[in-house]
Amino acid sequence: MNVLKGRSARAWAGFAGGAFALFAVAPFALSDFRLGLLAKYLCMAMVAVGICLAWGRGGLLTLGQGVFFGLGGYAMAMHLKITDAGPGNLPDFMQLYGTADELPWWWRPFENPVFAIAATVLLPMTVAALLGLFIFRRRVKGAYFAILSQALASAFAIWLVGQQATTGGTNGLTDIQGFFGYDLDDPVNQRMVYFVIAASLLALIALARQLIHSRYGELLVAVRDSEERVRFLGYDPANVKLVAYVVAAGMAGLAGALFVPAVGIISPALIGIVPSIEFVIGAAVGGRASLVGAVLGALAVAWAKTALSEEFPAGWTYFQGLLFIVALAFLPGGLASLTKLFRRRRAVAQKSPVIPVGEAA
């Protein structure tokens, strides 16, 4: 029991430390430009929280999170583009590439801000639920699930590119000016967007932690480790997996929606196979089974991408590749396994005869 209390206190301290860093240190230590980049990284971390749940805890290799990120992003961007254009006008790219004189029917609902905001989370969750029902009921798993996710990401990106007149094609939706009445050009508003993103990330982490440490979380790990046994015990593994998949999709959708005001662009380049893999890499480098690991991993990978490409514009991709190989070859559990390694060392040094039960889990 002491161990459990210790762990909870540590989590609380870590959470408070993270909040302090995000709200009290970063806004003062970073320039407007760097704070904007941090906002972008935090969106990546939000996707990683979902991946930690679905992949790290549930064993579902979600190689198609770009789809849900994109659904959330496009839902938000469509609303913002309509508002930017003003009443009665078409968004700029439709005037350029489109042939229609009025908004396509499937754009219309996004004129309503409440619908658009709800859609950023509910749309990805609905898609994930339908897809998940189909996949998990049929007991599709492992590599087949991963391939299916990838195919979906690829298909969605190709569809978006093909519908240039209504989706902006390869360009995506760019040049987003305002965010619910606030001018995104103003650094003060950019800062506000950053705070919204930071608070959302913390909220998602808290939510995921609650889920992981609940009865459901136990069941999810059980399904990951031995699905057949769970089934014999009378649970339906399909439902257990479905919940994790749907929650992860909702988190990716929210991340996509907040990415739009932070970066000002959403395009098929953020949705296809490569970005979907990049989301997973962040979680893998940090440690997919650990919430802190996945979040810090996603932040570190996104930051390294910027830092390396600024420092070595011509050869940074080699460094990035090397970093992944080193991280995954020597730390298969990700950076999070470093702390475990140290703890074990310390335990051995103290010549403790038995490792506490809670610690071994």
Partner 1 sequence: MSSGSPILRRRFLAGGAALAAVVVLSACGAKTDAAGTSSDKAAKIDISGDTVKVGLLNSLSGTMAISEVTVRNSLLLAIDEINASGGVLGKKIKPISEDGASDWPTFAEKAAKLIKEDEVAATFGCWTSASRKAVKPVFEKNRSLLFYPVQYEGLEQSPYIFYTGATTNQQIVPALDYLKSQGKKSLYLVGSDYVFPRTANKEITAYAKANGMTILGEDYAPLGSTEFSTIANKVKASKADAVFNTLNGDSNVAFFKEYKSAGLSAKTMPVVSVSIAEEEVKSIGSQYLAGQLTAWNYYQTTPGAANEKFVAAYKAKYGEDKPTSDPMEAAYTSVYLWAAMVEKAKSFDPEKVKAASDGITFDAPEGKVTVDGATQHISKTARIGKIGTDGLITEVWNSGKPVEPDPFLKGYSWAADLS
Say whether residue 234 binds partner 1 (CB under 8 A).
no
Do the beta carbons of residue 285 and residue 334 sit within 8 Å?
Answer: yes
87 to 106: interface string for partner 1, x by CB under 8 A = --------xxx---------
Residues 172-201 that bind partner 1 (CB under 8 A): 172, 174-178, 181-183, 185-189, 191-192, 195-196, 199
Q: Minimal distance in Å, beta carbon 48 to partner 1?
A: 18
By rule CB under 8 A, what count of residues binds partner 1?
Answer: 70
Which region among 12-20, 62-70, 119-127, 144-152 touches partner 1 (by CB under 8 A)? 12-20
Q: Please tell me the distance from the alpha carbon of residue 116 to that of residue 179, in angstroms, as a whole number.
A: 12
Partnered with residue 266 across adjacent β-strands are 173
Report DSSP state, residue 350: T
Q: Please tell me the distance from the alpha carbon of residue 124 to that of residue 253, in angstroms, as a whole number.
A: 6
Q: Please tell me the distance from the alpha carbon of residue 318 to that of residue 1, in angstroms, as a whole number.
A: 47
Amino acid at 306: T
Q: Which of 252, 188, 352 is nearest to 52 (CA)?
A: 252
Say whether residue 225 binds partner 1 (CB under 8 A).
no
Q: Please tell me the distance from the alpha carbon of residue 325 to that of residue 222, in angstroms, as a whole number.
A: 29
Of residues 135 and 201, the one with the C-beta less far from partner 1: 201
Q: Which of 198, 207, 278, 195 is nearest to 243 (CA)?
A: 207
Residues 296-325 that bind partner 1 (CB under 8 A): 306, 309-310, 313-314, 316-317
Q: Please tell me the distance from the alpha carbon of residue 253 to that of residue 120, in angstroms, as a whole number.
A: 6
Q: Pick the binder of partner 1 from 109, 162, 332, 356 (CB under 8 A).
A: 162
Angle at 143 between CA 140 and CA 145, to 5 degrees: 40
258 to 297: interface string for partner 1, x by CB under 8 A = -----xxx-x-xx---------------------------
Q: Pick the binder of partner 1 from 170, 226, 339, 352 (CB under 8 A).
A: 170
Report DSSP state, residue 22: I
Residues that bind partner 1 (CB under 8 A): 4-5, 7-9, 11-12, 15-16, 19, 23, 31-33, 36-37, 40, 84, 95-97, 158, 161-162, 164, 169-172, 174-178, 181-183, 185-189, 191-192, 195-196, 199, 202-203, 206, 209-210, 213-214, 218, 263-265, 267, 269-270, 306, 309-310, 313-314, 316-317, 358, 361
